[in-house]
Amino acid sequence: MTSQVPCYTIINSPDLEVTNEMQLKRDLEKGDTNVKIETLKRVIKLLLNGERYPGLIMTIIRFVLPVQNHTIKKLLLIFWEIVPKTSADGKLLQEMILVCDAYRKDLQHPNEFLRGSTLRFLCKLKEPELLEPLMPAIRACLDHRHSYVRRNAVLAIFTIYKNFDWLVPDGPELIASFLDTQQDMSCKRNAFLMLLHADQERALNYLASCIDQVHTFGDILQLVIVELIYKVCHANPAERSRFIRCIYNLLNSSSNAVRYESAGTLITLSLAPTAIKAAASCYIELVVKESDNNVKLIVLDRLVAMKEHEGMEKVMQDLVMDVLRVLAAPDIEVRRKTLALALDLVYSRNIGEMVLVLKKEVSKTHNVEHEDTGKYRQLLVRTLHTCSIKFPDVAANVIPVLVEFLSDTNELAAADVLIFIREAIQKFPALRALIIEHLIEAFPQIKSSKIHRAAVWILGEYVEGSQILEVIAVIQQTLGEVPMVEAEQRRLAGDQTEEQKQQQGSAGGNAAGSAAEGSGSGNASNKVTSDGTYATQSAYSLAPVAKAEKRPPLRQYLMDGDFFIGGALSATLTKLALRYAELETEARAQNRLTTQVMLIMSSILHLGKSGFPSKPITNDDTDRIFVCLRTLSERTPEAISVFTLYCREALGKMLDAQHDEDQRMLKEKQKATAKVQPDDPVLFAQLSNGRDNQLGENVFESSLNQALAGSKNAQLSDVASPNSKLNKVTQLTGFSDPVYAEAYVNVNQYDIVLDVLIVNQTNDTLQNCTLELATLGDLKLVERPHPVVLAPHDFCNIKANVKVSSTENGIIFGNIVYETALNTNVVVLNTIHIDIMDYIIPASCTDTEFRQMWQDFEWENKVTVNTSFTDLHEYLKHLLKSTNMKCLTPEKALSGQCGFMAANMYAKSIFGENALANLSIEKPVDDPDSKVTGHIRIRAKSQGMALSLGDKISSSQKQSVQAA
């Protein structure tokens, strides 16, 4: 295998035109300074693209190296870094001795920038033969007057000691004595960093000598001190008591980065309640004071991770009020995480205080118009809802606040309030009278048909006793004059309706004042112009303006063609009439109320057929109202039991099913948090699979594991296992091709690394063997792979990086071009299909959110089910596994065998894209061997997501059919 040349510089350059070497030499020899700079830049780009110009080295040494221009000096540092410094047999080129001499002079140059940048360049050299003559000059730079030179000299000695310790055997002693005399923080930081890695004992001795002054150090040095304490205490727990006070002091550092690292280190070193409280308080302060939303989210994630630890959760419960201070942040994601965290931490002692804070937040949102205000109100409603169900004692305080939301223009918040009221009224019978009272008060102010419909249902289901007549009166008030058709005809004819008379009566007091003002001419009125003079305006010059008819809310819905609320209203009025009949013994009072209710229903039917509304009444709504009328006229026991008993029972069962589902999810979460048992095996870091809790373990190891795994859901064991690697190997050429190639596709979040193995199967040497790749879809090749030379039957690995920008099926294709002694040949490669499943993760949302997204998303892909599965549940499991989606339909709704299944599924991509799917499948119940049929509808915001997911489902179906 060919060894890769170490290189630290990547310069992205488009496809360059390969320039003649003679032309480059001429420009470098005879050109002026600007020409030399441009030529040198072109040479660097060509070298990075794989071209070789061995003849240019001497030209550059003779004509470019002596130039004192700073830009040329900087470019030469990059050139000497990337240029091959050894001959074919691995020996150092003779010309490099001249280069070495030039850099020795630069290390003694009076300009501190040149010295410092040269020292930085020496950190990247991997040839000890070049470094050895320069060691005295590097050591001398430690005593330079300028800190830029001194700190880079320390870094140079550090890297040289790390790679070739025999070049500087007294490195730690040299740097330790340097550290004692230094005042500059950047120099101290670099020196301390070297001691941390090279001689930990000396670093500890230095820290012990100045431990009381640590809080006065600069933040860059404090960060290295935190790292040292962390490593020492993990390696030797007995040292914790010696350094933990230092970490406590650093929690009050002026640097946010130091405070964040110190808090993270503190909770890994100690689980004492004082340590947990100090770390959590530090995190909360960071979230409150930091302006960057990304930082806020990262620190909130750390607080959530702390909460998952049982011992820490109890301590953090007292900090709920501090956590709620974060709600001052304007970002909706930060607020969402904060409310979720506070909800998990709150307990009976501080629930009252939390509800007061949330009430204040609710009142703040009333007069604020912002794009996220509606979503924030919805979040507050849901949080108060959960608080009330979790702690029933506060429900009585919460209900009056939430009922105010019913008149809100934001339908989402109002709908959530009604969901809460529905659950509270079912679960807390003692609060029913209070809820009904507030609901009746808010009923006329409701602005949405959907909210009115749900409120009508709740009133009809739970109103009892004297409140029945009150509810019917409120409904009549919001419905307007009955019969409605006659009222609309009078309105059309210009006669006054009862509502208009009432409005005029209520405004009678104001009319007297306005009459005095308008007592002038009927046809003309005096107006005052901007300059103070009078102008006469004639009535004939005004265009007649049609006055918008203002109707009561329920009547307006019916006039707009929404007769679904008419059906709901009829069912409610029927329930109220039947319940009143049970309470009232006098037949006349019963009949009076029943006829009043039947008149309203028949009036709605008449209005629906009259042609006044914008849309006529539908057959479904007509049938529903007729059923209500028939129930009231015939009063059969079966129909009465449906209206008075079964509706409430159905709600109870639905709420119980939701509660069971929540409990099941909670148990699954608790199962995931592993507890250590006395007989558990001892964990070794080398054998660990990376699934341990991120707190209490070595966070450097866990972050490395996560980087390897590519995402939080992936595990190190999955990454390291040979099987997973073999599954991702794609064969690119045939076994009989002169060049065999196969690629290991490693997907790491937004990057794809192709590790291509190329084998020369011929007896010839292949010159300039180049892997040429191109992409289709939202993929972008980062850099072009370098050409290689392959000896007979030799092989090598070439890596190529591809950037991903969205969740679409991407294709990588290309060929291998190589030269033999006779001609140039091309081997076309098999295409590599990038699996979108690497970017899709299961997610959950509420039914309302699902329906809203389903309505908003415009791209739909319908996939017909073609499978060998004979069981509906087995097919659903196969589909969820192959698409990484989560089934939103509860388990109870899917249980049993009826020959038909409908389920909703949801997933998100790591790019934030949503994917929805609806499964509708069936099979004959009497034929157990028949195959599942039906279709899957996929909806997404982008076309690529919908098509890619459809392709994935189709390919998984083909595989299952072929396997069968």
pLDDT in tens, 452-505: 998 999 998 888 888 888 888 999 888 888 888 888 888 888 766 665 555 555
pLDDT at 719 over 50: no
pLDDT at 790 over 70: yes
Torsion over CA: 549, 552, 557, 563 (sign): negative
How far, in Å, CA of 911 to CA of 542, rounded? Answer: 57
- The one-letter code for the residue type at 310 is E
More confident residue, 710 or 380: 380
More confident residue, 524 or 339: 339
Mean pLDDT of all residues in 689-708: 47
CATH class of the structural domain 838-960: alpha beta
More confident residue, 550 or 812: 812
C-alpha dist (Å) from residue 66 to 84, 94, 627, 861: 21, 18, 102, 67
Residue 874's SS3 state is helix
Out of 282-291, 567-576, 658-667, pick the least confident.
658-667
Identify the helix (H) or strand (E) that includes residue 381.
Answer: helix 373-390
Pull the structure tokens for residue 39: 């030529």
Percent of the chain at pLDDT exceeding 70: 85
C-alpha dist (Å) from residue 599 to 204, 571, 573, 827: 91, 14, 11, 85
- Please name the residues in contact with 643: beta carbons below 8 A apart, sequence gap of 6 or more: 571, 574, 575, 578, 631
Out of 369-383, 668-682, 812-826, pick the least confident.
668-682
Residue 689 pLDDT grade (very low, low, confident, very high; cuts 50, 70, 90): very low
Domain ranges of the chain: 350-444, 729-834, 838-960
How far, in Å, CA of 790 to CA of 756, rounded? Answer: 14
Pull the structure tokens for residue 138: 């590097």
Phi, psi angle pair for 687, to nearest 5°: -100, 0
Q: Are 76 and 110 in contact (CB under 8 A)?
A: no
More confident residue, 85 or 133: 133
Q: Are 383 and 358 in contact (CB under 8 A)?
A: yes
pLDDT at 671 over 70: no
> How much is the mean pLDDT over the chain?
81
Q: Are 737 and 827 in contact (CB under 8 A)?
A: yes
Chain centre to alpha carbon of residue 859: 22
pLDDT at 223 over 60: yes
| Alpha helices (H) in 10-127, listed in sequence order | 21-30, 33-48, 56-63, 70-82, 95-106, 112-122
List the CATH code of the domain at 729-834: 2.60.40.1480
Residue 723's SS3 state is helix
- Please name the residues in contact with 189: beta carbons below 8 A apart, sequence gap of 6 or more: 151, 218, 220, 221, 224
Mean pLDDT of all residues in 143-158: 90
Mean pLDDT of all residues in 839-853: 86
Residue 313 pLDDT grade (very low, low, confident, very high; cuts 50, 70, 90): confident
Sheet strand arrangement including 779-781: 729-731, 739-748, 751-760, 795-804, 779-781
Residue 504 has a pLDDT of: 56
Torsion over CA: 655, 661, 663, 666 (sign): negative
Residue 669 has a pLDDT of: 66
Q: Which residues pair with 832 in a beta bridge?
A: 812
Mean pLDDT of all residues in 203-223: 82
Percent of the chain at pLDDT exceeding 90: 16
C-alpha dist (Å) from residue 688 to 311, 536, 701: 23, 92, 10
pLDDT at 536 over 80: no
Out of 52-66, 659-673, 836-850, pick the least confident.
659-673
How far, in Å, CA of 226 to CA of 235, rounded? Answer: 14
Identify the helix (H) or strand (E) that includes residue 226.
Answer: helix 219-235
More confident residue, 16 or 267: 267
CA angle, residues 627, 633, 635, in degrees to nearest 5: 85
How far, in Å, CA of 546 to CA of 907, rounded? Answer: 50
| Chain segment 256-268, per-residue pLDDT in tens | 898 999 898 888 8
pLDDT at 355 over 80: yes
How far, in Å, CA of 311 to CA of 317, rounded? Answer: 11
More confident residue, 928 or 352: 352
Residue 677's SS3 state is coil
pLDDT at 685 over 60: no
Residue 519 has a pLDDT of: 41
| Chain segment 407-451, per-residue pLDDT in tens | 776 677 788 888 888 888 888 888 888 889 888 888 888 888 888
Measured distance between the N- and C-terminal CA atoms of the chain, rounded to whole angstroms:
43
| Residue 759: CA count within 13 A, CB half-sphere | 13
Out of 82-91, 116-125, 534-543, pick the least confident.
534-543
| Chain segment 547-604, per-residue pLDDT in tens | 456 788 888 889 999 999 999 999 999 999 998 888 888 888 889 999 999 999 999 9
